[in-house]
Each structure stands twice: as C-alpha cells, then as structure tokens.
Chain A
Amino acid sequence: GQNIDQPTEMTATEGAIVQINCTYQTSGFNGLFWYQQHAGEAPTFLSYNVLDGLEEKGRFSSFLSRSKGYSYLLLKELQMKDSASYLCAVYTDSWGKLQFGAGTQVVVTP
C-alpha cells in the first residue's frame, strides 16, 4: 500500500524557521511535490524534487533523500500569510498519479 506521513500540526513565530518532514513508502516513485493549501482553496505548487538534494526557491526550500524515503520543506522568515496546510505528495507512476499525505497545518503566531 501507499504510506505518506507528515506531522499534523506545527506552530512557529513570525520570522522564524520551520521544517516540515515527510516520509513515504509507496509502490512507485517519480518525484515528490510540496503544495500549500489555505482553507477552502485549492493547493498551490511550492516545489518539486525528483533527484536527491536540496532545491531552493526564495523563502522555501525542499530536500529529498530517495534512499531514506524522506523529504522536508523548510520555510524561512515566516510570515503570517504562511499559516496554511502543507501537503507532501508523491508521484507514484509515470502517468502523474499523485498520492497525498494528510497535510501539516502550520500556525504562525505574532
């Protein structure tokens, strides 16, 4: 079966750094995505990793280790608008089928 685990909730203060971990065990792997989702809205694309290593994109960075089945999303210089759910998703086949984790609710406090 497919198993994608991430913490349920994390709280951090404005300006701080937060790291959201994601571990996965899936029948196939063709890449890992991180999405941001605000309540009642559709997910928006943040990052994509297919090779091991770190991908940096402004305040957001994502890391992947395929041998460990592990990824993290790093959010720097947190802003209040970063309060949202962050979804880890794995491409499990070459046709684009995505399996999502349950999401991590990040709460940014003043």
Chain B
Amino acid sequence: GAVVSQHPSRVICKSGTSVKIECRSLDFQATTMFWYRQFPKQSLMLMATSNEGSKATYEQGVEKDKFLINHASLTLSTLTVTSAHPEDSSFYICSARDDVAGGVDGTDTQYFGPGTRLTVL
C-alpha cells in the first residue's frame, strides 16, 4: 500500500529556533501534499497545500512567513516552523495525494504520514 513518512517523529526545541519537518511519499509520486495541524482533542486543521514546483497555498489565518513550505520534488515536501514559540507546539501531519487517478487503493484518497509531535519550550 501507499506509504508516507515523516521525519522527525518528535522534536523538542527552544523558543526562537526553527524546526524543519520532512514529508515523503515512499512508493508513489505526489504533485500535491497537504500540511495539517492538530491540537489535543481537536480535529485536523488544514494549514496549506504544497504543490511541486510552485508556491504553497495557505489557508486563511496561517502565516506563510512563519510556516515555510518547500515541495522540491514529486516525493518530498518540507515544512519549516520559523522562530517557533510555545503556542506552535502541536501535532503536525502531512498527507500526499497519489498522482495516479484513483490512487493505490482505487479511491481518490490521501495518505497520511505518521505525524510529528513538536514541543517548543
């Protein structure tokens, strides 16, 4: 089946530092990837749509200068949280959409990475 990896799985950093999170589609190509944020006991909130070879599209209220997204290849997107603060502590999850119509399992589904737990002290 389709696999999406994220690295790191967990990161703890000091306030003011930048953190980079990688999202990779391992066995399929993904022109489009998505970044979500999830706070405890809440649902996933879409932050931005990452498109290979072009600028990301950010959802309303998400600061593009704070959350830098780079989609350099068909299998890799990165999210950099710049100058992280404690309120940025959250579970960050990426998903990738299979470029092949129907996807691996015959549906037009997105495949989620395992998530990255960010804690900013």
A contact set with B: CB distance below 8 Å? 30-31, 33, 35, 40-45, 48, 50, 87, 91, 95-103
Considering only residues 73-121 of chain B, those with a C-beta below 8 Å from chain A are: 91, 93, 95, 97, 105, 107-115, 117
Q: Which of A35, A44, A48, A97 contacts B49 (CB 8 A)?
A: A97
Which of A40, A87, A98 contacts B110 (CB under 8 A)?
A98
Contacts of A100 in B (CB 8 A): 43-46
Complex Cα gap A35–B108 (Å): 14
18 contacts between A and B (CB under 8 A): A35-B112, A40-B91, A40-B117, A42-B113, A42-B114, A44-B112, A45-B105, A48-B107, A48-B108, A48-B109, A95-B49, A96-B97, A96-B108, A100-B43, A100-B44, A101-B43, A103-B42, A103-B43
Interface size class of B (residues with CB under 8 A): 20 to 34
Contacts of A30 in B (CB 8 A): 108
Q: Say yes or no: A97 contacts B34, CB within 8 Å.
A: yes
Question: Who on chain B is nearest to A88 by CB?
Answer: B43
In the bound assembly, the distance between CA atoms of A99 and B108 in angstroms comes to: 15
User: Shortest CB–CB separation between residue A104 and chain B, in angstroms?
Assistant: 10
Q: Which of B35-60 contact A (CB under 8 A)?
A: 42-46, 49
Cα distance A98–B91 in the bound complex, in angstroms: 17
| B25 interfacial by beta-carbon distance below 8 Å | no
Cβ contacts under 8 Å, A35 to chain B: 112
Distance, CA A95 to CA B111, complexed state (A): 14
What is the CB-to-nearest-CB distance from A84 to chain B, in angstroms, rounded to a whole number? 13
A98: chain B residues at CB < 8 Å are 34, 46, 95, 110
Given contacts A43-B93, A97-B34, A100-B45, 12 further A-B contacts (CB under 8 A): A31-B108, A35-B112, A41-B115, A42-B112, A42-B115, A45-B105, A91-B108, A95-B32, A95-B49, A96-B49, A100-B44, A101-B43
